[in-house]
Structure 1
């Protein structure tokens, strides 16, 4: 259920961090996300799963159709940006950190029309990306990570996207 009483400029309360050593409940995170960012309910995210440095979503095409009956590029771009934000936020939560994350830069390359339900996979661009992020957070109190997104419809790669996400200093 979306909170209609929240006003622009008013932050949504953070989701409590998982207990130390506990695994994130992605269903609870998805429910919180839908309240914190109201457009999430319209994006067709059916399932989130996380394994190691990989975040994968299963998405329905129906809420993301364009006038041609294929995936609307703007919705797909929004999904990649949101997924990157979620990747960094979940990584921080796993490390016991409640910090603000913003996208600094994003780009997409559309390779083929999306004609059915699809999956979106997000991973760090560099194999040592998480180690660099962790080191920067410890040394400078802030950090950045580059993420790559790949959208598959069946076995076809339909979109590749990149994002540069910043973890802001603690306030």
Structure 2
């Protein structure tokens, strides 16, 4: 698993064995968009498509990573947790799966964290395979300053 993220976040990600087993690849982070992916082979189900649990895990970790990155950009180390999620499966994924999260951070997220308070972030992640949207994910994350 390669990662273009700060060392503190890389260390947290490296402690999650499931991400290594899924072969998660961190592709892009430009401050506004995060894109991660994983191959089909370690995530395959009995139908030859992506296991729903892997799709859910990739979406969840994409939002978790975005929350963690935005907290670090605000100058705050935090523990990010998912509080609520909704995942809509649209069609089977038959090849590499890519999760993309784009977000605009509300000012209250940064100000609450910098004041040492919990801050929530609502994120959307779209999941694509073979150029087709296969699932949509909405998650509410909470960043807790450490």
Measured against the shorter chain, the TM-score band is 0.7 to 0.9
1:91 corresponds to which residue? 70
Contact 1:120 1:149 in 2 (8 A): yes
Query: Within the alignment, does 1:132 sit opposite 2:111 as a pair?
Result: no
RMSD: 2.4
Pair 1:33–1:136, CA change in 2 (3 A): closer
**SS where residue 91 of structure 2 aligns?**
coil
- How far is the alpha carbon of 1:32 from its aligned partner? 2.3
Structure 1 segments of 4+ aligned residues over 6 angstroms from their partners: none
**Residue matched to 1:38:** 17
| Conservation of the 8 A alpha-carbon contact between 1:26 and 1:48 | no
Deviations 1:90-138 (A, max 9, x none): 11122221111110001100001001112110123xx4x3323113324
Assess, with a 3 A threshold, how the Cα gap between structure 1 residues 138 and 27 changes in structure 2: closer, same or farther: closer
Question: How far does residue 139 in structure 1 lie from its aligned partner after superposition?
Answer: 5.1
Residue in 1 that maps onto 2:141? 165
Of structures 1 and 2, the one with the larger relative CO (CA 8 A, separation 6+) is 2
Unpaired stretches in structure 1, ≥5 consecutive residues: 1-23
Measure the CA separation in 2 of the matches of 1:92 and 1:146. Answer: 14
Which sections of structure 2, spanning at least 5 residues, go unmatched? none
Say which structure is richer in strand: 2
Of 102-111 and 31-40, the range deviating more from structure 2: 31-40
Report deviation, 1:71: 0.6
CA spacing shift, 1:59–1:130, aligned 2, 3 Å: farther
Give the Å deviation of 1:51. 1.4
SS in 2 for 1:141: coil
1:19-38 superposed matches below 5 A: 25-26=4-5, 32-38=11-17
From 109, 125, 134, the counterpart of 1:149: 125
Q: What TM-score comes out, normalization by structure 2 length?
A: 0.86
Q: Count the aligned residue pairs.
A: 145
Which TM-score applies when normalising by structure 1? Answer: 0.75
